[in-house]
Amino acid sequence: MATGNINVTAENIFPIIKKFLYSDHEIFLRELISNATDATLKLKHLSTLGEIKGDIGSPIIEIKVDKDKKEIRIIDQGIGMTGEEVEKYINQVAFSGAEEFVEKYKDKVEDSGIIGHFGLGFYSSFMVASKVEIFTKSFADDAKAVRWECDGSPKYTLEETDKTERGTEIVLHIDDDSLEFLEESRITQLLNKYNKFMPIPIKFGTKEKTLPLPEGAAEDAKPEKITVDNIVNNPTPAWTKNPTDLKDEDYKEFYRELYPMQFEDPLFNIHLNVDYPFNLTGILYFPKISKNVDPTKDRIQLYQNQVFVTDNVEGIVPDFLQMLRGVIDSPDIPLNVSRSYLQADGAVKKISSYITRKVADKLVSLFKNDRKAFEEKWDDIKIIIEYGMLSEEKFFEKSDKFALYPTVNKEYFIFDELIEKIKPAQTDKDDKVVILYASDEKTQHSYIDAAKEKGYEVLLLDSPIVSHLIQKLESSKENIHFARVDADHIDNLINKNEDKISKLSDEEKETLKPIIENAIPKETYTVQLEAMDSNANPFIITQPEFMRRMKEMQATGGGGFMGMGNFPEMYNLVVNTNNELIGEILNTKTEKKQERLIKQAFDLARLSQNLLKGEELTNFIKRSFQMIK
């Protein structure tokens, strides 16, 4: 038997491990299973190279829990270690990064997984164990099995043992403050969280399996039940396979495996696979986005060589894609450093750009291959795409090939198609193409109707970030302007310099304007007298496009002007001087009747904009009934 001190400059690394990583102490199982997986994969590799004689069988990893003895065992049938290798890899190499670890992380710990980063994975055992034993036998024919023991101090013992099977067994004697890990349900939870897709089968106990009845079995025959190993993981998840070997149903099944509580199928998926200039595989899914979606649930999961690391992929996946679901697996992402380091890391930036490009390419492909199906999905995916157009310049550049602009008539155009369609009719006197849009089909119906009568197309843009998006489009495209359909009278929105003759003289207008101003709240409404079609409404309420857009942009964050969100609502009251009612108001002899007509017409205009509420709406209804008696 040999004894000795672990070669580490810190007097005692174990309390430091516990102190700094206590909040993440559950990662011990992930680290130990990762080591067992590495040992097994090395064995398979050597067997493939012909360096191991005979059949290695089908090695698995097994987890055993003995609650009475307060023990957890992690057993593998991998490459194993000799006494010299234990001395090297456990006592020396594992602590090669200890001093750096202590120095760098003595004040803060920002990520789980720091231990693995510094080669200290095995020593995460001491976060939950008061004593750890290793029983190991190398694959080499003449190797003797050894037992290593350490109680969490720098002292250890190493001696020969009678283990006969190849591989390594680690025995954790669980601390009294970590007894939760002796519960079967807790271990199952950790295995599902971290090791669900490890590349080597993991056994945890047994389960009953019901065999199918043989053909011709009697009607009252009962199926036979047998006890089988409870394999808790899927060693070959969909993202590790070639996309050509997978069907749509395979992708959907994997989605359900990732998110068992999701009952709706995803809209479509994107299979990622690149090996230069970095390694990355994965599958991203576009889910159906509902108004009550919880962005903290069912997030994209990040793996490293099939080991779960985190579902916080901020900095790795572009912000606009964080509402997607799925898996990203890359050994090239530095997992154990701060978020600010991640954001500055060159490899991470390349990965983020690659994901953006792949998503854009997939959207182009989906649009080209089945436009009708893409149009049907548009309402479910538009918020992600519009956010991407705003936040990622390269994505915006590609969006012309798939971003849709739907009309109130349920027609869908990409940008170039839209301009080609509306340019002949909707070009104003300054040679700008005016793109009319509505944000609410019902409340803006009368304005939409007026535009349609002119033969104009009206888009339906109702997402919460539309003000930001149209600002971006106006600054990026030439000779276009967006105007909400209720921002002014339709003739003013697309001003073609067509002078209309007013039925009222200039003197009559000067007489009429103060009469109307005295009957309406001047602090909110600005009166404009304009000659319009005689069949257009007498009063039309509009809100200046610029002011409304700035307020909306500030309300949804970013853009706008400071304080614009608190600015009082301001509207224009456009008075159609060619409408018969306006002539009647001017020529009415009694002030009382004049005021009643103005208020009735004004309230009707407000009603069309959903601006009439509370007491004012009640008074309007009463007045209306009195007028039709």
Identify whether the C-beta of residue 59 lies closer than 8 Å to the C-beta of residue 155.
Answer: no
Other C-beta atoms closer than 10 Å to the C-beta of 42 total 14
Gap between the Cα atoms of 155 and 279, Å rounded: 40
DSSP 8-state secondary structure symbol assigned to residue 413: E
Residue pair 90/309 in contact (Cβ under 8 Å)? The answer is: no
The verdict on whether residue 168 carries a ligand-binding annotation is: yes
Could you give the CA distance from residue 91 to residue 6 in angstroms, rounded to a whole number? 5
User: In the Cβ-directed half-sphere of 373, how many Cα atoms lie within 13 Å?
Assistant: 10
Q: What are phi and psi of 268, to 5 degrees?
A: -165, 170
Q: Is 578 annotated as a binding residue?
A: no
Both tokens assigned to 172: 């954790």
Residue 407 CA to residue 82 CA, distance in Å, equals: 73
138 contact partners, CB below 8 Å, separation of at least 6: 79, 80, 81, 82, 85, 166
**Helix runs in 142-274, H state only:** 184-194, 248-258
CB 145 within 8 A of CB 135: yes
Cis bond upstream, residue 59 (ω within 30): no
Report the amino acid identity of residue 475. S
- 339 labeled binding residue: yes
The interaxial angle of helices 591-608 and 506-519, nearest 10 deg, is 80
Q: Residue 189 is which amino acid? A: Q
Closest CA to 90 of 39, 41, 45: 39
Name which of 74, 94, 79, 93 is nearest 42 in CA terms.
Answer: 79
Is 136 marked as a binding-site residue? no
CA proximity to 284, closest of 335, 360, 200? 360
> Do residues 299 and 322 touch, judged by C-beta distance below 8 A?
yes
The token pair at 525 is 């409404």
Q: For residue 564, say whether it is annotated as part of any ligand binding site.
A: no
User: How far is 169 from 137, CA to CA, in rounded Å?
Assistant: 9
To the question of whether residue 96 is assigned a binding role by annotation, the answer is yes
What is the maximum alpha-carbon separation in the chain? 119
- In this structure, the strands spanning 525-530 and 301-304 are unpaired
512-526 in b/e form (b: 16+ CB < 10 A) is: beebbeebbeeeebe
3-state secondary structure of 175: coil
> Cβ neighbours of residue 535 under 8 Å, at least 6 residues apart?
none
Task: List b or e across 316-337, with b for residues whose CB sees 16 or more CB atoms inside 10 angstroms.
Answer: bbbebbebbbbbbbbeebebbb
Sequence-distant (6+) residues with CB within 8 A of 442 are: none
Both tokens of 491, joined, read 């003739």
Annotated binding site: 31, 35, 76, 81, 96-97, 168, 339
Annotated binding site for ATP: 31, 35, 76, 81, 96-97, 168, 339
